[in-house]
Amino acid sequence: MPTPPDTAPSSTLPPVVHLRQGGTSVVLDVHSADQPVIVHWGEDLGELDADELAGITRGAVPQRVSGGLDETGRLTILPQASGGWLTSPGLEGDRSGRDFSSRLTLHDAIIDDVSARFWLRDTEAQLSVVSEIIVGAGGAVRQRHTLTNLGDAPYRLQSLQLGFPVPSSARELLTTTGHHLRERSPQRSAFTVGGHVRESRRGRPGADATLVVVAGTPGFGFERGLVHGVHLAWSGDQRMTAERTPTGDSVIWAGELLTAGEITLTTGESYASPWAVGSWGDGLDTFAARFHDELRARAQHPRRPRPVTLNTWEAVYFDHDLPTIQALADRAAQVGVERFVLDDGWFRGRRGETAGLGDWYVDEDVWPDGLAPLIDYVTGLGMEFGLWVEPEMVNPDSDLARQHPDWILRARGELPRPGRQQQVLDLSNPDAYAYLSERLNALLDEYDIAYLKWDHNRDLLEPGGGAGAGFRGHANVLALYRLLDELKAKHPGLEIESCASGGSRVDLGILEHTDRIWTSDCLDPIERLDIQRYTGLVVPPEMMGAHLTSPVVHSTGRTASLELSAITALFGHFGIEWDLTREDDETLSRIAAWVSVHKDAREMIATGRRVHADLADPSLDLRGVVAADGSRALFSLTQVTTSAFHPPAPVTLPGLDDERRYRIGLIAPDGAGGHPGQSTLAWSETSVVMSGRTARTAGLRPPMQYPQSAALIEAVALD
């Protein structure tokens, strides 16, 4: 990053900056305050001349009011009390009580059509900040601050927040919460004056963390309603705040949540905040599409078809032996699986959850000839081989913990309270890092492993470097990112899944270094509807693990039909979590038919736009994916509960091209579906033709179904 200049503000900087890309405009007033002010973020305003730009910025300047300061403070890109900003500041820190208040002013900038980098400096407090704003290919907006200590004394950073102003029309908030097996559960509230704060202090975002903070017009849905929202691309502690001020400003803040003394900058040292990413749209589907487009535009985004994956966990748990797992591999290949993943239980001493974590050597008692016989068998069947690991964790009952107790995160002599009978390694410790790097690289060098399922099964408590040492949360996240990148650089083509007690580490920070997330340990298709819907606000479907489950769901005990489970999993990175050796040929044939449906649709799912209908009937769920060119779409219609309407009222199909005509029909590859007590729908066997506009507005009567069942609808353009 270029060195901040020592000169006064450049007179050549334009008074107004207009960034545009992907249907988004960002307009910044550069000179009317100490720092630039974002005066518009949202709909593309088109080509604007100097007079129009000046009008936008002048129209945004607040007047002086009685009882206030002589000049009303502005919501700048890093607002401060020195500029008259009287609510949450962008920067907090000090030098043992000195320099607690900074006055960072604009000194220079580099600007192009889609990005701006501003240099801010306080010569008295000896601080500088580089603030970056980028409008991405999909129209999402990224922000980051980098703070540098230019003084002789250390500077203790308390917080560095990134602010996204939102329109005054945004009077309702959406965040997510949850717990293990029910991640990203939505909650709504009024957006009133004051701050709505969501924090995560678990060392990872956690199952209860909010994936986004969205502010929108009251009653906004997936199809309509203006929304603006922010996600923090960080895999550790964080704070997200929606704040409405008495001055009429509304802002969403995002930043890393730092512990006292965690970041102390010495002379010349810098701290870079995580990226915060904002999106907007008319409806949550448009909002989500910007995130998906951003991810898909990256060079490292997975391009090849997502392999249909079978994971062994719910089939064998810890009971590993070669003949049993070979038999499971046979069934997997029979139904069309392309990637076979051996889950927990393969390494030394791992006969249950209480021992072995950290001893990353193949267990000679269970696998006397190593993993080669199994891997050769799996690859001989035409499948890739994947392996489960949990490198950040350690059981106290392990050789690693006994030999290196100093590698375990702790705040004092005693260990933190256990979770799942395990503790957490300090990846920021060079020796611990070197051990994990050596062990993982040794496995990848020896065996033909195409995929790592990387788990993280507990929250962090008191994550210090040992008695008398400091907090290690920030350092461990950076070490994790470095380790993931190192493994992928040394083993080209290796794919890694981020799993964390299911979906407890889902963020764009971890997805910069991995290839998919495990959405949830809950495979109950009814529970998965909301989990996948709200995870998809940020994560595109091809990066969300979604698997078929056994008829009796492991996590809830619910009985689920194959059709419901398959259709729910269809709109993700499809896989299977099921002991197929217990099923007969007819069931295996039905599973194979659904695998075939997914393979036929997965390119469209990985490149198209996901849609959700805002239906009036709460008993129904209708969602789908529309091809990027509008030529085809698949929709799932789930009868979640019984309906007040009998037969059901018409449902609408969103996202199709208004001007094109489509043939719309049902897909039932295994011959199941429908309600035997009802007559056949007029269109269900012969299909129906209608325009995209008609499907979106008039709709059509859905098939009658039992509660907790689903139907798959296909629309194919005729022209």
Partners of 578 in the beta sheet? Answer: none
At a CB cut-off of 8 Å and minimum separation 6, what does 396 contact? 415, 418, 421, 422, 423
Catalytic residue among 29, 343, 507, 521: 521
Say whether 520 sits in a helix, a strand or coil.
coil
Is the CB of residue 371 less than 8 Å from the CB of residue 343?
A: no
Partners of 19 in the beta sheet? Answer: 26
Helix axes 430-446, 473-490, angle to 10 degrees: 30
Q: In what side-by-side order are the strands of the sheet with 155-160?
A: 91-94, 155-160, 263-265
Backbone dihedral region for residue 438 (phi beyond 0: left; psi -120 to 50: alpha; all else: beta): alpha
Is the CB of residue 252 less than 8 Å from the CB of residue 163?
A: yes
User: How many residues belong to the chain?
Assistant: 719
At a CB cut-off of 8 Å and minimum separation 6, what does 67 contact? none
Q: How far apart are CA 320 and CA 6, in angstroms?
A: 65
Is the CB of residue 548 less than 8 Å from the CB of residue 670?
A: no
- Cis amide linkage into residue 647, ω under 30° from 0: yes
Catalytic residue among 34, 455, 459, 657: 455
Q: How far apart are CA 293 and CA 286, in angstroms?
A: 11
Q: How far apart are CA 592 and CA 152, in angstroms?
A: 67
Question: Cα–Cα–Cα angle for 568, 571, 573, nearest 5°?
Answer: 110
DSSP helix, strand, coil percent of the chain (3-state; round to 5): 20, 30, 45
Q: How far apart are CA 119 and CA 135, in angstroms?
A: 18
Say whether 327 sits in a helix, a strand or coil.
helix
**H/E run at residue 637:** strand 632-639
Q: How far apart are CA 477 and CA 259, in angstroms?
A: 14
Q: Name the nearest CA neighbour of 614 among 626, 606, 622.
A: 622
> How remote is the C-alpha of 184 from its chain's centroid?
10
Residue type at position 348: R
At a CB cut-off of 8 Å and minimum separation 6, what does 34 contact? 76, 80, 82, 83, 103, 104, 105, 106
Helix axes 372-380, 322-335, angle to 10 degrees: 20
Q: Name the nearest CA neighbour of 37 among 91, 90, 85, 76.
A: 76
Is the CB of residue 15 less than 8 Å from the CB of residue 57?
A: yes
122 is known as an active-site residue:
no
455 is known as an active-site residue:
yes
At a CB cut-off of 8 Å and minimum separation 6, what does 543 contact? 295, 302, 511, 515, 516, 517, 573
DSSP letter, residue 71: S
Q: How far apart are CA 699 and CA 445, in angstroms?
A: 56
Phi, then psi, of 567 in degrees rounded to 5: -65, -40
Q: How far apart are CA 700 and CA 715, in angstroms?
A: 13
Which residue numbers are catalytic? 455, 521
